[in-house]
Structure 1
Amino acid sequence: MKKDVWVRVKGVQRNERGEEDIIELITEGRLFRKEDSYYIIYRETAISGMEGTTTSLKVEPSRVTLNRMGASEQKQTFEEGLLHTGSYITAFGTFHMSVITSRVDVDLTDDGGSINLEYELQVGREKISDNKLSIMVENR
């Protein structure tokens, strides 16, 4: 099963002063299933600040793995209650980031659905922000 979909991404980042930064993106993507996992692939745009980057998500019932390739590169795993460390490679350098995920809510079928993640972002073991990431997948 492979299909063309709309991917709606909303990211909310709240720093320690309570200030929020919100990014919303709607783009074309592909949804497919392989064994017990779904995969979502889409291109980033200038809105996300990662133009020239392709994002793929491997979505399992209790774990989401993000993999970005191109102008920016990143691999990050989100799994409730666990700390996962990854790297974020940009034109400005490499950052070692960790996430402690407090919520992984996956409701995805062959027809689309949603993914909701909540996590703490750390760089060098220092908390940077609390984050919410919502991804909606709809038929195109």
Structure 2
Amino acid sequence: MSQPLKKPVNVRLKSTICHPNVDKEIFDIQTTGELTLKGNQPYLVYEEIQDEKVVRTTVKLGGKSALILRSGGVKMRLPFERGELQNGSYDTLYGTLMITTNTTHLHFEDGHFHVEYELLINDEVAGTYTLELFYTEAN
């Protein structure tokens, strides 16, 4: 069995969040990470600081389905499948909150991942999200 191919990358994360009756929030973060290829499946792993806590994010990249796993300061599982409702979870101080994603757009090509989705809590839209990841090989 061969070892996964790993290479360091520079990552830019651009996130737009629209909650009902609230101004749009835009986050633009630059960090470094690692792109791993296990077989034909690419994974992007990077860390960011949120509320003074380190959050480790793993993105299973794909064009029809994708998965974001976050651990550390935030623990979350966000699955995406275009045109399908997917169940995920978000851990809070008070327990695990079950969430649902309704993916309206999902696109992946080498160096760029783009997903647009509605986040539902108890069948109510809590917000619409656009997430773009750009990554380039680090020198």
Normalised to the residue count of structure 1, the TM-score between the two structures is 0.87
Q: Is the 8 A contact 1:39 1:56 kept in 2?
A: yes
Distance 1:81 1:50 in 2: 35
Q: Is the 8 A contact 1:11 1:131 kept in 2?
A: yes
Residue identity opposite 2:48 in structure 1? E
Q: Is the 8 A contact 1:71 1:91 kept in 2?
A: no
Distance 1:135 1:50 in 2: 22
**What's the counterpart of residue 43 of structure 1?**
47
Per-residue CA deviation, residues 86-140 of structure 1 (Å, 9 max, x unaligned), is 11113354322111001101012xxxx1001011111111111111100001121
Equivalent residue runs for 1:8-23 within 5 Å: 8-17=12-21, 19-23=23-27
**What's the counterpart of residue 98 of structure 1?**
100
Which runs of no fewer than 5 residues in structure 2 stay unpaired? Answer: none
- Alignment identity in percent? 27
Q: Is the 8 A contact 1:44 1:50 kept in 2?
A: no
Equivalent residue runs for 1:1-140 within 5 Å: 1-17=5-21, 19-46=23-50, 49=51, 51-91=53-93, 93-108=95-110, 113-140=111-138
Distance 2:100 2:17 in 1: 15
Give RMSD over aligned pairs: 1.6
Normalised to the residue count of structure 2, the TM-score between the two structures is 0.88
More deviation, 118-127/8-17: 8-17
Aligned-pair distance for 1:26? 0.7
Structure 1 segments, 4+ long, off by >6 Å, are none
Aligned-pair distance for 1:50? 7.2
Per-residue CA deviation, residues 59-98 of structure 1 (Å, 9 max, x unaligned), is 1231111111223211111110010111111335432211
